Every structure is written in C-alpha cells, then in structure tokens.
Amino acid sequence: MLQFGMPTLIENKTLEDNISLCKELGLKFIELNMNFPEYQVEQLENTDRLLKLADEAGIYFTIHLDENLNIADFNSLVTGAYLETVQSSIAVMKKLLPLRDKYGDSTQPLTLNMHMHHGIYITLPDKKVQMYDRDFDTYMKSFATFRTLVSEWIGEDDILVVVENTDGFRDYEKKSIEYLLESPKFGLTWDIGHSKAIGEKDVPYILEHRDRLVHFHIHDGSENPPKNHLALGDGEIDLQDRLSLAESRNARCVLETKTIEALRKSVKWLGDKGRMS
C-alpha cells in the first residue's frame, strides 16, 4: 500500500496544527517546508521537539528545501549559505530517521526535496539568454561540488536528495540532473500537477529516468487553463495511472494541495478508490 503524507499547510499556524490534521486524516507523514519561517533550519534543529511530537502522533517527517535554494549562484557567499543549509538539513534528517523506521516504510529512503533554480536571464532584442546556459562550465562546477558534498554529508544513511520538476526543466538543468543522478544519493520527485499544467513537457524526461523516481507530489491539475494543486478528482490527470507508477516504484506520495479542504477531499477520493484504508 502506498504511503501518503501531507504538505505544510499555510492555514495551519503551528507544527502541532499540522500534526493534528495529519493524524486525523490517517496520513503517515508531513513534508516540512523550509519556505515557511517556522521551519527554517534553526527550528528544525530542535529535533527533540520534532521527535516527541511525531512520536506522540505516530507519524514521521520529510523535508522540502527552500525553493530559492541556489547552489550554483555566481556569488560564492550565497552559494556557501545554501550549501550550509543543505548540510544542516541532512544532519536533521539523520536524527529523524528512527521515526521513518518506526512509523513508515524502512524500504523507502527519507527525502529532502529540492527545486532547480533557473538562474537569471538577459533579455536581448530577439531572445532571452539564460546565464547558466551561457556559463555552463561554471554552472556544472557548482553541481560537481554539490554532488560530492551531499554524498559526503549523507554517508551511509538512508537519505536522498530528490529533484522536483516545476515549470519545465531547461536543457542545462537536464544535464546537471543527469550528473547528480550518477550518485546513488540523489533521486527524482515527480510533481504530477506541475507537469500537467505545462502540457506534460517534462514527462518524457521523467519517464526516461523512472528507475530513479522515489517521491511524488500528488495533486490534480489541468492544461487549459493551466491549474495545479487541485483536490484529487477536480482536474484532468489520469490519477490512477500516476498512482500505479508510484506504487511500482515504491515511492512516497505527498498530497500536495494548498488548503485543508482540498486535502480532506483528496483523502476521501483515495479512500473511495481503495488507495487508502
């Protein structure tokens, strides 16, 4: 049976509120979102509190790294801060692994989800030039450093950094992702709503690397008009097909709606379809 969890919801003011909803809905885990001020690394490093609250509720945690994370920024001070954030987040995850073993599926690595930062672009009269494409060698040196450091920081622990699709992978990003996936410490997240809203243009690339899929963001969506983060059943996605792929990959699934109402509706949809007991 698939393991379903929930995102950090903005309507919930505290971690306790999120945990209470997670337990009520029978979900297994919460993906702590580092875009929120209350889930910055300094707060997450209070692992005694996290362990106590999760243990009382019988759940565990994954982490969604800050969407602004940019490990290839040309400013080394900026890059250094983001690398330090990843290192500290991995250290937190190591302390949270026992929760996964107790309340989750120990065959599923614990994940830190990350977005690819597109970098800036320069607008010319006839086109836009992505700076990471223009200075690709510099860009890739940053990813070489990142891959080496992440592998060292994770060591032998059952943790993966997983790369999520958003609004379409750029060609230079595909090359850097290929490079990251050469390491067993990296995997892929398929956000099925994001890919639907942009006409599924990332799907061939994702399916080409399906053997590295370990994490899913599950929500409904549509192409025209482009929408995502809808409750399951409110969009156009072949959800059963996507869930079957997730199941075949033994992947963990976050029900990534943005409201409590949509999350409740999605849990009910899964129950009606026999996907949740």
Q: Give residue 1's pLDDT.
A: 80
Q: How far apart are CA 222 and CA 118, in angstroms?
A: 24
Cβ-contact 114, 70 below 8 angstroms: no
C-beta atoms surrounding 216 within 10 Å: 27
One-letter amino acid at 12 equals N
Q: Give pLDDT tens digits for 146-157.
A: 999 999 999 999
Report field, pTM of the whole predicted structure over 0.85: yes
Residue 188 forms beta bridges with which residues?
163, 213
Max CA distance (Å), the chain: 59
Please give the distance of CA 187 from its chain centroid, rounded to a whole number.
10
pLDDT mean over 106-129:
96
Distance CA 18, CA 53 (A): 11
Nearest to 114 by CA among 154, 86, 133: 86
Domains, the chain, ordered by start: 4-272 (3.20.20.150)
Comparison of pLDDT for 252 and 276, the residue scoring more: 252
How does the average pLDDT of the chain come out, rounded?
97
Q: What is the pLDDT of residues 193-237, one digit of tens each?
A: 999 999 999 999 999 999 999 999 999 999 999 999 999 999 999
Structure tokens at 161: 């950094």
Give the model's pLDDT for residue 63: 98
CA 272 to chain centre: 26
Q: Is the pLDDT of residue 84 over 80?
A: yes
Residue 131 pLDDT grade (very low, low, confident, very high; cuts 50, 70, 90): very high
DSSP letter (8 states) at residue 104: S
pLDDT of 24 = 98
b vs e for 8-37, b when ≥16 Cβ sit within 10 Å of the residue's Cβ?
bbeebeebeebbebbeebebbbbbbbbebe
pLDDT at 277: 73
Q: Quickly state the pLDDT bin for 23 (edges 50, 70, 90).
A: very high
Exposed/middle/buried for 272, CB within 10 Å: 0-12, 13-18, 19+? Answer: exposed
Nearby residues of 9 by Cβ (< 8 Å), 6 or more positions away: 18, 21, 258, 259, 260, 263
Using the predicted structure, report yes or no on whether residue 270 has a pLDDT greater than 80.
yes
| Mean pLDDT value of segment 179-190 | 98
| Non-local CB neighbours of 174 within 8 Å, separated by 6+ positions | 205
In angstroms, the CA 30 to CA 83 distance is 24
